[in-house]
Amino acid sequence: MMKNNFRKYPASKKGFRAIIWLFIILLLVAIPSYFTTKNDIKTLAGRYNSPLSPIIMIPGSSASATRFEDLVSTINKKFDEHHSLLELTVHKDDSITYKGSIKNNDTRPFIVVGFENNKDGYSNIKQQARWFSIAFDALKSRYKFNNFDGFGHSNGGLIWTYFLEHYYEDDGINMNRMMTVGTPYNFEERDQAKRTQMLTDFINRKNKLPNDLTYYSIAGTKVYTDDGIVPIGSVEAGKYIFEGQINHYTLITLTGKNAQHSDMIDNPQFISLFHQYIIDDKNATSPNNTDRRSVSK
Amino acid sequence: MEQQFTHPLEKKLIDLNLRIQKIFLYRVLQKTVLTIFPFALIGSFSKTIQLVFLGKNGLFSNWTDFLSDNLFYQIDDIFSAISTMTLGWISVIAAFSAAKYTAKHLKRDDQLAGLTASLSLLIVAYTYSRKTPMSFHSAVLGIRGLLFAILLGVFIGYLFKWTSHKATEPDSFAMSTNMLKRTEISIRPILITIIISVIVSDLVNVTFYSNLPQTIITAVSSTNPSTQPFLSLLRTFGLGLYSIIMSFLGWSGPYSTGVNLTDTSSALNLDYALNHHTAWGAPDLFNSSTLYHTFATYGGQGATLALIIAILWVSRDHDFINVSRWSLIPSIFNVNSALMSGIPVFFNVIFFIPFVLAPIVNMILATIALQFHLMPPAVYSVPVGTPGPLVAFLGTNGSWQALVFTVFSLFISTLIYIPFVKIAEQVKLQDDISIDQGGADDEK
């Protein structure tokens, strides 16, 4: 008998009134948000902003995609940040394997692109740049970001440069900043007057470089002339490619302990430069992120 | 009131519950969850205001645009302080309450046991940072640490039993004046607790372990999303179920944090909808946002808005009705911590079944409706704090089919909750944990 009563009327007046209120509130919220959303979606197509701005890294020759694992964990520890790490390896047959993941709500993940064939030499670098462009396209369609920062260690910087001059077209994806460490634009050649084929090619196509790019090139020296492997003159030769062509070109010379070619990415001085110029890149966050104002305006 | 429970299954469930309620640990869990209710209530109001008015993607955040930056940040600071120190601090309160209740039950110095438990939790959550001298791993102190905090409190209550004398007779509560005497009795468990806590917090990377399940499952959830509809359906249900169960324990799953920004499948859908100017025919029908975030979270995890409606509709219990009314506003905007602790729903075996069942049934119904193209999938992102029943409507850019379906599924969820509300009422009538004071007279 009681059971039937439940169906007929609510058990308490208070409860009944609260239910009425619930639906009134829902209705009050629904009407304005319906029109705002309609309006938003109309304009959404034009300004669809993915908050993701990855830091894409290319290791040097004979290193694999795992090259930066220590660097990333050092940075996460040192600055108490939580960047995720995604490692891609592009194989000789153009296929890609993924390792790691981009965490939810991580807008500044590290993405490392390594190559199965990671050998030195100009012809290999050309190939690696092509492989990188394959990986880059895959990332682009998979994660839908519209800006990123680049980092290259040693020959990784050459791959970046070749990629920017040959494959990268300014189709809505913006490269904010690039940083390279010990990138030998003139290979092992000390004398900048003697230009290698690669340097000549780079200079010839320099007008293809994105002209809003900011680039920090770091050179290490041990004994005034080189970092143990790469002569400082070879790093410096990058000025012929970038100066006057991109927005800012900065050459930084690191000396002291750990300024050798391969150790350089463990160097605390380098890590703080990297953090300051690349991770803290203000352009990397979309304008909406720095603005406290609502998006729907 | 007995006559309304003619159904044998209901009777059985009630008896089972009454038996479970006799278990001491379960009593402590429920009692503690009730104790944090006032703080959860205030916190949930503050959090609602933060999300809806002050957050960047909040539902009404354009209403606060007229405020000057200074004033805005001042208001923002006030609410963030209130939320952080209530909801974000809730486990410290829970540890206190659990230890106090346990110690009282075991006739030890309950006040000191409570304080010791709070202290112990803070030590465990302490970060050894040279940059900021006094900071804590916030994950352990909020709702996420609730279960751990309560178990810790119970453990410390027992530690007091094992290592200190019986507190003197209750009538000589002059004990509170004789601090030295109390210190003498309880100094040993306090010292042991502090030493154990320090060792644990120094040796164990708290953040790492408290995030470990999340890290693993997130890795699983975000790698290699399958393009096969059936597999993506299976995956959404699996991760959804995991998220719901975790929320029941106060933890969080991959879907608990709201819509995933970097979810590729949602991005694909949105891309499609923007190019085709319609949500009909979006490529991925069964991902987290088309099923879980749209239809499984009316009023927060566990579709608890349906629980509120069920209570307001059929309940005669004043406590239930009052708690539901008080937590109605935050629940509309999907903040359900007040309701979860006030009924209580957390760790409550009665509500575990509908808490899991209601969202899953909603998702199944939604899957059928989507499969037969009765409504378009919700592909557009909705503002944070959009009331649960409106997510589908707004996420499909105003599809009436979706709205009608929402009303229908909310009604189904309510029907799922109703029998359990009656059972909970009946159990409460026979053995009310909320008026249980702890101490000897409970053990009848």
The complex's ipTM works out to 0.81
Q: What sign has the CA pseudo-torsion B435, B325, B303, B82?
A: negative
What's the CA gap between A269 and A274, in Å, rounded?
A: 9
pLDDT of residue B407: 93
Higher pLDDT, A154 or B213: A154
B311 touches chain A (CB under 8 A): yes
CA distance A236 to A181: 11
For the stretch A239-272, pLDDT in tens is 999 988 888 899 998 877 777 777 788 888 888 8
- For residues A124-150, give the mean pLDDT: 88
Question: Which of A175, A252, A173 shows the shortest CA–CA distance to A209?
Answer: A175
- In angstroms, what separates the C-alpha of A253 from chain B's closest C-alpha? 29
> Does the pLDDT value for residue B48 go beyond 90?
yes
- Considering only CB atoms, B261 lies closest to which of A26, A36, A105, namely A105
pLDDT tens sequence across B340-355: 999 999 999 999 999 9
Segment holding B94, helix H or strand E:
helix B90-105
Is the Cβ–Cβ distance between B360 and B292 less than 8 Å? no
- Does residue B1 register a pLDDT over 70? no
Question: What are chain A's domains?
Answer: 55-166+177-282 (3.40.50.1820)
In this predicted structure, what is the pLDDT of residue A2?
43
B440 is a domain residue? no
Chain B residues close to A18, C-beta within 8 Å: 312, 321, 324-325, 328
3-state secondary structure of A262: coil
β-bridge partners, A151: A57, A179
Q: Are residues B308 and B181 in the same domain?
A: no
- Tell me how far apart the alpha carbons of residues B58 and B54 are, in angstroms, rounded to a whole number: 7
pLDDT above 70: residue B221: no
For B126-155, what is the mean pLDDT?
Answer: 85
Q: Of B147, B182, B204, at which residue does a domain stop?
A: B204
Highest mean pLDDT among A11-25, A252-266, B220-234, B418-432: B418-432
User: Angle of helix B304-314 relative to helix A13-44, nearest 10 degrees?
Assistant: 150
Q: How far apart are CA B115 and CA B99, in angstroms?
A: 8
Q: Are residues B426 and B311 in the same domain?
A: yes
- Phi, psi at residue A207, to the nearest 5°? -70, -10
Strands A248-255 and A147-153: unpaired
Name which of A29, A51, A80 is nearest B387 (Cβ-Cβ): A29
Q: How far apart are CA A54 and CA A80, in angstroms?
A: 18
Q: What b/e readout covers A203-223, taking b as 16+ CB neighbours within 10 angstroms?
A: eeebeebbeebbbbbbbbbbe
Residue among A289, B385, A288 nearest A297 (CA): A288
Whether B179 and B266 map to the same domain: the answer is: no
Band (pLDDT 50/70/90 cuts) for residue B170 is low
Residue A57 has pLDDT above 80, yes or no: yes
* Residue B366 and residue B443 in contact, taking contact as beta carbons nearer than 8 Å: no
| DSSP assigned state of A175 | E
More confident residue, A250 or A49: A250
**pLDDT, average across residues B371-392:** 88
Give the pLDDT band (50/70/90) at residue A147.
confident
| pLDDT tier, B225 (very low <50, low <70, confident <90, very high otherwise) | low
| Among chain A residues, CA nearest to B5 | A3
Share of chain A above pLDDT 70, in %: 85
A42 touches chain B (CB under 8 A): no
Of residues A127, A170, A175, A126, the one with CA closest to residue A151: A175
The answer to whether residue B444 scores a pLDDT higher than 50 is: no
**First and final C-alpha spacing in chain B:** 24
Q: For CA atoms A271, A273, A274, A276, give the dihedral sign.
A: positive
| Whether residue B380 sits in one domain with residue B350 | yes
Clarify whether residues B408 and B283 are in a common domain.
yes
Neighbour-count burial of B166, counting CB atoms closer than 10 A to its CB (0-12 exposed, 13-18 middle, 19+ buried): exposed
SS3 string, A147-164, reads: EEEEEEECHHHHHHHHHH
Write the single-letter amino acid at A14.
K
Return the bridge partners of A220, or none: A254
Order of strands, sheet of A147-153, starting from the edge strand that comes earlier in the sequence: A96-100, A85-90, A110-115, A55-58, A147-153, A174-181, A214-221, A248-255
B6 has pLDDT over 70:
no
pLDDT at B385: 84
Q: Which of A33-47, A249-263, B227-241, B304-318 has the weakest average pLDDT?
A: A33-47
The confidence band for B418, taking pLDDT boundaries of 50, 70 and 90, is very high
In Å, what is the CA distance from B300 to each residue of A61, A62, B87, B255, B303?
51, 51, 15, 11, 6
Residue in chain A closest to B313 (alpha carbons) equals A10
- Report the distance separating Cα B68 and Cα B247, nearest Å: 37
Same domain, B216 and B199: no
In which band, very low, low, confident or very high, does the pLDDT at A56 lie, cut at 50, 70 and 90? very high
* Assigned domain for B396 exists: yes
Indicate whether B189 and B326 sit together in one domain.
Answer: no
Confidence of residue B440 (pLDDT cuts 50, 70, 90): very low
Smallest CA-to-CA distance from B113 within B98, B100, B95 is with: B100
pLDDT of residue B397: 85
Domain co-membership, B182 together with B243: no
Average model confidence (pLDDT) across chain A: 82
Report the C-alpha gap between B315 and B121 in whole angstroms: 37
Is B13 among the domain residues?
Answer: no
Is B383 an 8 Å CB contact of chain A?
yes
The closest of A251, A56, A53 to A150, measured between CA atoms, is: A56
Q: Residue A178 forms beta bridges with which residues?
A: A150, A215
Picking from B64, B65, B390, the nearest residue to A26 by CB comes out as B390
The answer to whether B373 faces chain A, any CB pair under 8 Å, is no
Dihedral sign, Cα of residue B159, residue B162, residue B164, residue B165: positive
How far from chain centre, in Å, is Cα A65?
15
Q: How far are the Cα atoms of A273, A279, B26, B45, B267 from residue A284, in angstroms, in the given order?
A: 16, 8, 50, 34, 20
Q: Which residues pair with A147 in a beta bridge?
A: A174
Q: Would you tell me how many other CB atoms lie within 10 Å of the CB of residue B97?
A: 24
Domain count, chain B: 2
C-alpha–C-alpha distance, residues B298 and B312, integer Å? 16
Q: What is the pLDDT of residue A241?
A: 92
Q: Give the dihedral of Cα atoms B125, B128, B130, B134; nearest 10 deg.
A: 30
Query: Domain for residue B20, yes or no?
Result: no
In whole angstroms, how far apart are CA B87 and each of B78, B214, B227?
14, 20, 39
The predicted structure's pLDDT at residue B386: 87
Q: Does the pLDDT value for residue B233 go beyond 80?
A: yes
Cα-based distances in Å from B38 to B81, B247, B425: 16, 20, 21
Contact (CB<8Å) A37/B3: no
Nearest Cα to Cα of residue A121 among A164, A62, A64: A62
Q: How confident is the model at residue B164 (pLDDT cuts 50, 70, 90)?
A: confident
Above 50 in pLDDT, residue A47?
Answer: no
Percent pLDDT > 90 in chain B is 40
Interface membership of A39 toward B (CB under 8 Å): no
Please report how many Cα atoms fall inside a 13 Å half-sphere around the Cα of residue A113, on the Cβ side: 30
The full 3-state SS of B242-269, as one line of letters, equals HHHHHHHCCCCCCCCCCCCCCCHHHHHH
Instruction: Say yes or no to pLDDT of A149 above 60.
Output: yes
C-alpha distances out from residue B21 to A231, B13, B183, B426, B434, Å = 76, 12, 34, 13, 12
- CB contacts, 8 Å: A30 with chain B: 387, 390, 393
CB of A30 within 8 Å of any CB in chain B? Answer: yes
Please name the residue that has the structure tokens 């110095």. B109
Mean pLDDT of B412-418: 95
Question: Minimal Cα distance from A46: which residue of B?
Answer: B274
- Count of A–B CB contacts within 8 Å? 148
Q: What angle do CA A190, A192, A194 make, to 5 degrees?
A: 90
Digit-coded pLDDT (tens) for B243-302: 888 888 887 777 776 555 446 677 778 778 877 778 888 877 888 888 888 899 898 888
Are A163 and A69 in contact by the 8 Å Cβ rule? The answer is no
Choose from A14, A44, A99, A292 for mutation: most chain B CBs within 10 A.
A292
- Residues 6 or more apart whose CB falls under 8 angstroms from that of B66 comprise none
* pLDDT at residue A5 in the model: 43
Whether residues B315 and B196 fall in one domain: no
B403 within domain boundaries: yes
pLDDT at A290: 42
Question: DSSP 3-state assignment of A215?
Answer: strand
pLDDT at B334 over 80: yes
Please indicate, yes or no, if residue B61 is contained in any of the structural domains: no
Instruction: Show the tokens assigned to A82.
Output: 């939580």
Position A7 confidence tier, pLDDT thresholds 50, 70, 90: very low
Q: In this complex, which of B321, B383, B397 lies closest to A41 when CB atoms are compared? A: B397
A167 alpha-carbon distance from chain centroid: 17
Contact B184, B209 (CB under 8 A): no
> How confident is the model at residue B152, as a pLDDT?
94
Domain end point (choices B148, B172, B204): B204
Question: Is B26 inside any structural domain?
Answer: no
| A20: chain B residues, CB-CB within 8 Å | none
Confidence grade of residue A140 (pLDDT, cut at 50, 70, 90): confident
Question: What phi and psi values does residue B384 have, to the nearest 5 degrees?
Answer: -65, 135
Contact A14 B61 (CB under 8 A): no
* Phi-psi map region of B385: left, alpha, beta (phi>0 left; psi -120 to 50 alpha): left
- To the nearest whole Å, the CA of B250 is away from the closest chain A CA by 19
What average pLDDT score do residues A44-65 get?
78
User: Of B156, B181, B204, which closes a domain?
Assistant: B204
- Residue A297's pLDDT is what? 30
Residue B276: give the domain boundaries: 211-430
B window 245-264, beta carbon within 8 A of A: 254, 257, 260-262, 264
CB–CB contact B332 A105 (8 Å) = no
Contact call for B271 and A103, based on CB within 8 A: no
Residue B119 pLDDT > 70 = yes
Say if residue A6's pLDDT is above 60: no
Do B242 and B192 reside in the same domain of the chain? no
| Rounded Cα–Cα distance for residues B267 and A19 (Å) | 36
Rounded Cα–Cα distance for residues B109 and B102 (Å): 10
Is B234 within a domain? yes
Is the same domain home to B423 and B319? Answer: yes
Token reading at A104: 């939810």
Chain B CB contacts of A48 under 8 Å are 270, 274
Please answer whether residues A86 and A101 qualify as being in contact, where contact means their C-beta atoms are separated by less than 8 angstroms. yes
Among B67, B129, B293, B312, the strongest candidate for a mutation testing the A interface, having the largest count of A CBs within 10 A, is: B312
Structure tokens at A37: 């959303």
Q: For the ranges A85-89, A280-284, B91-95, B411-415, which has the lowest average pLDDT?
A: A280-284
Asked whether the beta carbons of A143 and B262 are under 8 A apart, the reply is yes
Residues B358, B215 share a domain: yes
3-state secondary structure of A110: strand
Asked whether the beta carbons of B26 and B150 are under 8 A apart, the reply is: no
Of A176 and A172, the one with more pLDDT: A176
